[in-house]
């Protein structure tokens, strides 16, 4: 049951008679694993009952260990109870030892556990003891007939058949090892211990049928669906004016989309078409792209676009929202002026001239563009106005520019 190493460990623990009993018990439970404790305790019981522990203090430690493991249960539940009773009744056992064992029956206090075995031996030596009372107290606790005797089978230790045979003296340790070796204890008829059968369970528990039904993973059909709507709407915006609902939708989609996606969705050429049909969409698009590196491309397209009320409206709305680069504005104005010159139809030309002049006036009055930028040679606005001086708007623009040029005016 115990190999020599374990036996040696056990003997060294019970030899700690100068440590407090509590600490020895803690050491014992730390040394041996929980599942081995009962086995070790049985071996300790064997050593005690065979008188193979010779020091009284060691025996006291051993008794305490056998008691301490079951101290939380009733005394009756202690499997080594009979050993304690036997010690009390044994005539050859010292009074001190009997007193110690008897004290264990009366649920000793914490102070008792904090003392070492040696200390308790000294205390006991000075205390008068009545062993009958102690024995009775055990019986009072457990209520069994005093003369009950345990039958524990045939001991492995037998009388030699012939006393005259020479005996070889064994060391105590060898004797202990032989006693505690597996199979060398008391010979009792063994319990029959049938192994429990395998749990039958239900048919489908341990082995499951395969149904043959397979489930497919789901593909997200809505992939890029939002973007496609935007593409479609922008494409439509470049060909026809959108309805109010569509305008709202495309505005919403553009605000959610990334600039990269918008860049893919609408090229600069397409922007020109969008400007002609849906100025709001164009303005929203350019505003979204203002912070990107590609804005110059879109502004370049705006510059070169066919001059129209719509394009001027876009530029005008942009100027009121963001600060457009001055060079862009100048180029745009010059482009408009050039296009005006090319109209052959007088009526159309006049109309365009009026539009351009109003547009420039607006920019000047709102101080979006500087007057000095519109003076020659940087700009041909003044000559344009002179050329079309018969048109009222052109004449007004010329006067405006001249007024602002003089030192009295606000020469910005």
Partner 1 sequence: MSSSEVESALIAFQARDYDECLSCLDRLSHSKDSKVESNRWLVEYLRDGQVNTKDYILQLRSIETEPSEEAKQINKYNEALLLFQVSDVSGAEKIIQPLYTSSTTRKACDRWSFSVGLLYGDILIRSRDEQAMQIFKEMEDRFSVLLGSDSNLALNFHALKGHAHLQLGEYEDAQEEYQKMEKRSDRGNDIRMASLGARIETQKKQYDLALEHLSKCEGKDKERGIFCHNMGCIHHSMGKHHTSLWYLTQSIQNETEESNKGEKEANMKENRRGEVIVSVGYQLLMTGKYEKAFTCLMEGLRYNLRSSRLWLRLAECISLHHHTKYVQSKEAASYKRVRESDEKVILLGTTETSAGEPMSLAFASKCVCNSIYLSDTFAKEGRDAVITKGVLRASLLLSGYIHLCSHQPNLSLEHCKRLLSISNDPQERCLAAIYAAESLCLLNRPNEAIQVLKESSVEKMKEDIRTNTREIESQYLYSLAMASSHLVKRRMYRRRYPSGTERMPLCCPPISVSSEAIKRERESN
Name residues contacting partner 1, limited to 247-306 (CB under 8 A). Answer: 258, 260-261, 264
Kindly tell me which residue out of 123, 154, 386, 412 binds partner 1, with binding defined by CB under 8 A.
154
Minimum CB–partner distance for residue 314 and partner 1 (Å): 26
Under the binding rule (CB under 8 A), the answer on residue 63 touching partner 1 is: no
Under the binding rule (CB under 8 A), the answer on residue 5 touching partner 1 is: no
The Cα-based distances of 348 to 312, 351, 360 in angstroms read 16, 5, 18
Return phi, psi of residue 282, to 5°: -65, -45
Return phi, psi of residue 25, to 5°: -65, -40
Kindly tell me which residue out of 5, 30, 110, 215 binds partner 1, with binding defined by CB under 8 A.
215
Under the binding rule (CB under 8 A), the answer on residue 31 touching partner 1 is: no
Under the binding rule (CB under 8 A), the answer on residue 207 touching partner 1 is: yes
Applying CB under 8 A, which part among 7-15, 16-24, 211-219, 341-349 lies near partner 1?
A: 211-219
Q: Which two tokens stand for residue 312?
A: 């001027």
Can you spell out the DSSP letters for 175-187? HHHHHHSTT-S-B
In this complex, which beta carbon is closest to partner 1, that of residue 214 or of residue 408? 214
In this complex, which beta carbon is closest to partner 1, that of residue 62 or of residue 357? 62
Q: Which residues is 20 bridged to in the sheet?
A: 116
Applying CB under 8 A, which part among 19-27, 34-42, 128-136, 286-294 lies near partner 1?
A: 34-42
Applying CB under 8 A, which part among 98-106, 145-153, 294-302, 388-396 lies near partner 1?
A: 145-153
Q: What is the sign of the dihedral through the CA atoms of 95, 96, 101 and 105?
A: positive
CA distance 185 to 182: 7
Under the binding rule (CB under 8 A), the answer on residue 160 touching partner 1 is: yes
Under the binding rule (CB under 8 A), the answer on residue 212 touching partner 1 is: yes
Minimum CB–partner distance for residue 204 and partner 1 (Å): 7
Under the binding rule (CB under 8 A), the answer on residue 146 touching partner 1 is: no
Under the binding rule (CB under 8 A), the answer on residue 4 touching partner 1 is: no
In this complex, which beta carbon is closest to partner 1, that of residue 109 or of residue 148? 148
Minimum CB–partner distance for residue 191 and partner 1 (Å): 4
Q: Total binding residues for partner 1 by CB under 8 A?
A: 94
* Distant-in-sequence, close-in-space partners of 229: CB < 8 Å, separation ≥ 6: 249, 253
In this complex, which beta carbon is closest to partner 1, that of residue 149 or of residue 293? 149
Under the binding rule (CB under 8 A), the answer on residue 139 touching partner 1 is: no
Q: How many CA atoms lie within 13 A of 337 on its CB side?
A: 20
* Residues numbered 230-249 forming contacts with partner 1, rule: CB under 8 A: 231
CA distance 74 to 68: 12
In this complex, which beta carbon is closest to partner 1, that of residue 176 or of residue 286? 176
**Closest residue by Cα to residue 274 from 225, 322, 308:** 308
Under the binding rule (CB under 8 A), the answer on residue 205 touching partner 1 is: yes
Helix (H) or strand (E) holding 96: helix 95-105
Q: Which two tokens stand for residue 192?
A: 């029959």
In this complex, which beta carbon is closest to partner 1, that of residue 30 or of residue 34? 34
Under the binding rule (CB under 8 A), the answer on residue 118 touching partner 1 is: no
Under the binding rule (CB under 8 A), the answer on residue 211 touching partner 1 is: yes
CA distance 293 to 313: 24
Cis peptide upstream of residue 377 (ω within 30 degrees of 0): yes
- The answer to whether the beta carbons of residues 310 and 344 sit under 8 Å apart is no
- The answer to whether the beta carbons of residues 139 and 88 sit under 8 Å apart is no
Under the binding rule (CB under 8 A), the answer on residue 179 touching partner 1 is: yes
């Amino acid at each position: 049951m115990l190999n020599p190493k374990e036996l040696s460990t056990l003997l060294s623990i019970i030899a700690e008679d100068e440590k407090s009993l509590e600490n020895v018990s803690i050491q014992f439970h730390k040394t041996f694993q929980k599942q081995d404790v009962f086995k070790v305790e049985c071996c300790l019981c064997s050593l005690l009952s065979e008188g193979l522990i010779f020091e009284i203090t060691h025996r006291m430690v051993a008794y305490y260990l056998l008691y301490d493991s079951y101290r939380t249960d009733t005394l009756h539940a202690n499997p080594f109870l009979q050993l304690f009773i036997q010690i009390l009744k044994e005539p050859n056992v010292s009074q001190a030892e009997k007193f110690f064992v008897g004290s264990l029956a009366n649920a000793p206090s914490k102070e008792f556990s904090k003392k070492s075995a040696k200390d308790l031996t000294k205390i006991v030596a000075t205390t008068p003891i009545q062993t009958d009372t102690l024995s009775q107290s055990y019986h009072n606790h457990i209520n069994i007939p005093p003369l009950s005797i345990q039958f524990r089978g045939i001991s492995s230790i037998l009388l030699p058949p012939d006393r005259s045979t020479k005996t070889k003296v064994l060391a105590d340790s060898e004797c202990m090892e032989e006693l505690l070796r597996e199979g060398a204890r008391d010979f009792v008829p063994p319990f029959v211990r049938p192994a429990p059968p395998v749990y039958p369970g239900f048919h489908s528990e341990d082995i499951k049928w395969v149904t043959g039904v397979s489930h497919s993973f789901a593909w997200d059909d809505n992939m890029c669906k939002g973007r496609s709507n935007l593409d479609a709407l922008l494409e439509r915006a470049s060909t026809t004016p959108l309805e109010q609902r569509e305008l709202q939708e495309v505005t919403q989609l553009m605000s959610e989309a990334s600039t990269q996606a918008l860049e893919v969705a609408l090229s600069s050429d397409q922007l020109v078409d969008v400007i002609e049909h849906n100025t709001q969409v164009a303005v929203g698009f350019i505003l979204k792209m203002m912070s990107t590196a590609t804005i110059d491309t879109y502004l370049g397209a705006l510059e070169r676009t066919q001059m129209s009320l719509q394009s001027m409206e876009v530029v005008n709305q942009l100027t009121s929202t963001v600060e457009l680069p001055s060079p862009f504005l100048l180029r745009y104005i010059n482009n408009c002026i050039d296009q005006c010159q090319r109209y052959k139809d007088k009526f159309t030309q006049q109309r365009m001239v009026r539009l351009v002049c109003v547009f420039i006036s607006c920019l000047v009055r709102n101080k979006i563009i500087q007057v000095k930028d519109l003076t020659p040679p940087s700009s041909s606005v003044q000559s344009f106005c002179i050329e079309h001086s018969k048109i009222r708007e052109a004449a007004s623009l010329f006067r405006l520019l001249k007024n602002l040029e003089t030192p009295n005016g606000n020469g910005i």
